[in-house]
Structure 1
Amino acid sequence: MTKFPHSGSESRLERGRRALAEIDGEAGEKVVASLADIAPDFATYLLEFPFGDIYSRPGLDLRAREIATIAALTAMGNAAPQLKVHIAAGLNVGLSREEITEIIMQMAVYAGFPAALNGLFAAKEVFAK
């Protein structure tokens, strides 16, 4: 299980950058960079809170965190850009295409067929890259 321990010498921002690089790789850096000209402070918040604080907590490995994230974004039904980033992250942390497809299909039960269809089409796009 990959962890990003909270050390006294590393800031939330530094820990968040490290986590983002391991989880999302280049796709995550593109999201952060795309905010530079409109909301650089929001990019900092994105690095510090979700990645520096939440993803860095013990208790769940990155694979489990991405399963939860893919499920949540699929259930929302309206977050395709973020879902695509996290589908790629899921692949990056060891999820298979089949597992991601099953996670998204499971959401049809709880979020409805339209949300699951949107998720499957987002996955199809990511898998094609």
Structure 2
Amino acid sequence: MTESKRASNGDKIFKTLNPEAAAQLKASLANTAPVLSQYISEFVFNDIFGQPGMSLKQKEIITLTVLLTLGNTNYQLRVHLQSALNIGITKAEIMATFVQCLPYAGFPRVLTAVQIATDVFAHSSAK
């Protein structure tokens, strides 16, 4: 697959998950680091999210888990929480995922993720 085809396919997947974040990311990187936008489209969304074997919902649950566990990923966590809601992952499923992380990531990271999720839920039009 050519680079432009990879980017185009990755953009399509990103827009399926979170059209607002996709547009904001492209715009914010256009003048300063357009290559990062290209890498995100090609690698993250085409090569990784585009892989067969798991649904987008499963991939988003894993992404939320990793972001929570890493900590210090508030912006990305917000983006992926909204993406999860956009593709039909429920608030209850998100909270259950966070609780499952508790013994492995600890209270501080789980509580931070819950606080961020609460804010995203309050401002999201997704149900």
Query: 1:76: which partner in 2?
Result: 70
The 1:105–1:28 alpha-carbon spacing in structure 2 relative to 1, beyond 3 Å, is farther
Q: 5 Å matches for 1:75-94? A: 75-94=69-88
Paired amino acid for 1:115: R
Query: 2:97: which partner in 1?
Result: 103
TM-score norm. by structure 2 comes to: 0.90
In the alignment, the residues of structure 2 paired with residue 32 and residue 71 of structure 1 have an alpha-carbon distance, to the nearest angstrom, of: 25
Paired amino acid for 2:110: A
Point out the more displaced range, 96-105 or 30-39.
30-39
In terms of fraction of residues, the more helix-rich structure is 2
Point out the more displaced range, 117-126 or 101-110.
101-110
Q: 5 Å matches for 1:1-129? A: 11-129=5-123
Q: How many residues align?
A: 122
**1:51 CA displacement:** 0.4
TM-score norm. by structure 1 comes to: 0.89
Q: Which runs of 5+ in 2 are unaligned?
A: none
In the alignment, the residues of structure 2 paired with residue 100 and residue 28 of structure 1 have an alpha-carbon distance, to the nearest angstrom, of: 21
1:13-56 CA distance string (max 9 Å, x none): 11011101101221222122211122111111111000011111
